[in-house]
Structure 1
Amino acid sequence: MLDLNREFPVIPGDLLPDNITRELQTQLSRLLGRRSNTFIGSQPVSFTKEHLDANLHRRDYLVCEKSDGLRCLMLNTSDPNGAEATILITRENQFFLVPGFHFPVPDDQEKFHTNTLIDGELVLSERADGNGKELKYLMFDCLLMNGQSLISLPLQKRLGKLKYFFYDPYSKFCQSQPQFAQENNRFKVRMKDMKTSYNLWSVLEAAKTQAHVSDGLIFTCAETHYMFGTDVTLLKWKPSEENTIDFKMELHWPTFVDPDLDEHHPDKTYLDYDAVPEVSLHVWQGDNDQTGESKYERFPYDLTITEAEWTELKELGEPLDGRIVECHKNVQGEWKFLRFRDDKSNGNHKSTVDKVLVSIEDGVTKEELIKACAGLKAAWKEREAKRHAHSQPSHSTASNGSRSSAEEEHKRRQQLEERRAREQREHQQRQQEKEREESVPKYDKNDSDEDHDSEWYNNDDEGEGEWFAGPENDEGPTGSMDEEDPDDL
């Protein structure tokens, strides 16, 4: 039977107009130092046997469960009127305004985040009281924090800042204002639980009892920066039965020949809509450069569908031909329907399909992953010991005694003085910039950080301020954010 009960989350917000979406896309690209306005989020590659040795055994990786939900970036900013705005961005690069949220900054529950961009997944989760389902947004990365780019930082620092500057203040606010959170928040916000790669077994165990559907694991390299687009170090593992491909589905009904009618009768042959159709699957090849239309090629295998399954689909009373469907390959080698993917305008690209097919044929089982944990831990500890050894003073340096210590202390003080001088110059420069911009209206009341000036950007079309407030900063965070911030979770 079909898995039609596998629901897909729907964003509880309003789609923003194209002009505002383009404006936000441009401003985000500017803040992140990008030239493209395409979807910002990183995309994983399918896990194969070679990744076990080439990646997990050789580099530090964190692992979390792969949620079966809707991938979204969450932008927290202010609207042209200075009000707080929460926006979800889908893989289709659509921007949805979700009202009701308040995400305070540390130490001030009145001020809110401006230009904070988070990566996560919107999922449907069983309520704790068993009374239906609820939406949750599970955060697993952070690209911008109050206008400062974090993409050049390693994963653990990004997660540390996400927790300290965003999640902890939000959690405290919800605890202090439970009625506000219950009445206004369209979904719950949580951080995904990250483990070291050699503890992947515990992630698999926890997934058995969690309230939302999980269909695999995500391995994120702890040593690299955030990568836009396809990230070959970001690994998506699924058990073989959960490895899926999104196709375009086309229906082909058989021709019926009425034996009782004359050979030349116009109704002698017709399409038999009562029969089970042949369901072909088509792979997206990209868009036509001249027309912009999507190009598809037929997949070598059709969808296997029984008469009972076809009856289920017909009873939905919905259009079927040409829809995007998620399919998986069963143990008999048949491609089976899993669910519709109406959130996607196209199926998986040919390059993705090829990689998933390789992953299915050359995949790693859950048992193989668990068996590898001991080796992953030993390799991790060995790298850790080497890093620790490199951070210690050499024997020759230690033998120089107090002289070397004095030189190191002098060098440290010199670096500290240089840093203070640089910060003072930067502070003076900011003050000069503020003086030059006195004529520009400020969001002083709702500014997310005293050191970050919010600006109005003129919108010639509307005659009002833009949907994006904050400084343009293409570099990583410096100064005050690192002073109190824990590096790791």
Structure 2
Amino acid sequence: MELSCLGSKASPETASALRHMIYDQLNEHRAKHREKFVGSHPITLTLENINLLLTEDFLVCEKSDGVRALLLIINYMDKNRAYLYDRKNDFYELDIRIPFNSTVLIDGEVFLESNTINTYAIFDCLIYEGVSQISKNLYKRLGYAQMFLEAMYKEYETSKSVPKDDDRKRVHIQITNESPPICFYVKQMLKGYGFWEIYKKIPELKHGNDGLIFTPVNEAYCVGKRGEILKWKPASLNTMDFKMVRHSKDSNIYDLICIGKRGKEMVFDQFLSTNIHESNLDGVIGEFLYDADGYYWDFDELVLRKGGWKLYKTRLDKDSPNNIKVVCNILESLKDDLSIEKLSSFYTPMRENSKAREIQGHRTVA
């Protein structure tokens, strides 16, 4: 889904100014960090880090197959404005009424429901009414996200934009007279051990899904970097992002590039494009699956070997590939074969440990 369908793209100068304004309000003044996408980055759940789910409190939600975007409401050039802000550091201004006079920054993702309904699913809040919330726990941040939704509902509840059967859990906002409305809602989250309840409802979803997200309750929001947010995907959807660079002129062989030490690009592997519709991939970010059972060319030895890379889809919403650490982490996850059945074997200790922490917490308070 293209964010340009929902708003007009801001100039590079405006985008840079907005990003720096965000970092100022988050009290992040390191120059290197201020050029990065503000959003936090999840890490892949593996048998090596699954102990986090046993020893710490998490909330779990479904992982939508959409476009990651922060929603920024800010006073810029003497006017209150709303923007969707993506991982390419692009901002798209929305033409909507805004019931706020100070900065709000929400984290979420954009996708289509039933292939027609523009939807923005909210899962975190970084700034509310001009105050940074990133040091608060997840429950409090989600509370601010819910307050944002309620404020938007009150702004639009008398409008024709809100369906009569709306239950206040969703807000439908008309962006322009020519475009369909966008639906806002806060994602359902359960305690970490409730992952099976979330998983079994995935077939009922009206949008694409590619796994589960576990967010730590007591960790501060990690601005522009990886923290302890864990993502689980079934092996069939456990992908990694490479930049495809044509190996030589007029060749269908592409070097698969990831980010190595000190932010430098490095060649991780190669990929042969055999699809006529994949003829213009040079410089594009591709989301790849590792196919352990198929046979693929080893271009160093010029032989067919079992196992290789299959292009799942191109990522026009991203302009940089995964870090080598992320790639290795995902490969480790594939090696672990952490299926939903294997994950379910951790349900009992996750629940028992969570209950024990609750009891201990009550004793401490008492």
- Report the secondary structure of 1:41's partner residue: coil
- Report the secondary structure of 1:334's partner residue: strand
- What runs of 5+ residues in structure 1 fail to find an aligned partner? 1-7, 105-111, 127-131, 254-270, 393-489
- What runs of 5+ residues in structure 2 fail to find an aligned partner? 163-172, 294-306
Matches within 5 A, 1:101-112: 101-104=96-99, 112=100
Instruction: Name the structure with the higher helix share.
Output: 1
- Report the secondary structure of 2:321's partner residue: coil
- Report the secondary structure of 2:204's partner residue: coil
| Whole-Å separation in 2 of the counterparts to 1:171 and 1:371 | 41
Matches within 5 A, 1:401-480: none
State the identity as a percent.
30
| Whole-Å separation in 1 of the counterparts to 2:175 and 2:133 | 32
The root-mean-square deviation of aligned C-alpha atoms, in Å, is 2.4
| Whole-Å separation in 2 of the counterparts to 1:15 and 1:233 | 32
Q: 1:178 aligns with which of 154, 160, 164?
A: 160
- Report the secondary structure of 2:93's partner residue: strand
- 1:325 paired with 2:286, answer yes
The Cα of 1:370 is off from its aligned counterpart by: 2.2
Matches within 5 A, 1:42-441: 42-52=40-50, 54-82=51-79, 84-99=80-95, 101-104=96-99, 112-126=100-114, 132-164=115-147, 166-179=148-161, 181-182=173-174, 184=176, 186-251=181-246, 278-285=252-259, 295-299=265-269, 301-303=270-272, 310-313=275-278, 319-332=280-293, 333-392=307-366
- Report the secondary structure of 1:223's partner residue: coil
**In the alignment, what sits opposite 1:465?**
none
Alpha-carbon distance change, 155 to 179 in structure 1, aligned in 2, over 3 angstroms: closer
Alpha-carbon distance change, 311 to 278 in structure 1, aligned in 2, over 3 angstroms: closer
8 Å CA contact retained: 1:9, 1:69? no
- Corresponding pairs, count: 335
- Report the secondary structure of 1:227's partner residue: coil
8 Å CA contact retained: 1:144, 1:150? yes
TM (norm. structure 2) is 0.84
Q: Between the two structures, name the one with larger relative contact order (CA 8 Å, sep ≥ 6).
A: 1
8 Å CA contact retained: 2:45, 2:231? yes
The Cα of 1:251 is off from its aligned counterpart by: 4.8
The Cα of 1:242 is off from its aligned counterpart by: 0.8
| Whole-Å separation in 2 of the counterparts to 1:197 and 1:285 | 31
- 1:40 paired with 2:38, answer yes
Instruction: Name the structure with the higher strand share.
Output: 2
8 Å CA contact retained: 1:116, 1:146? yes
Please identify the structure whose Cα radius of gyration is greater.
Answer: 1
What letter is aligned with 1:40?
V
| Whole-Å separation in 2 of the counterparts to 1:198 and 1:288 | 37
Alpha-carbon distance change, 183 to 326 in structure 1, aligned in 2, over 3 angstroms: closer
Q: Deviations over 1:7-57 (max 9, x none)?
A: x443422221222222222221111110131221111111101222x2111
Alpha-carbon distance change, 331 to 148 in structure 1, aligned in 2, over 3 angstroms: same
What letter is aligned with 2:314?
F
- 1:29 paired with 2:23, answer yes
Q: Deviations over 1:131-186 (max 9, x none)?
A: x422211110001001011111100011112212x111212433321348346475
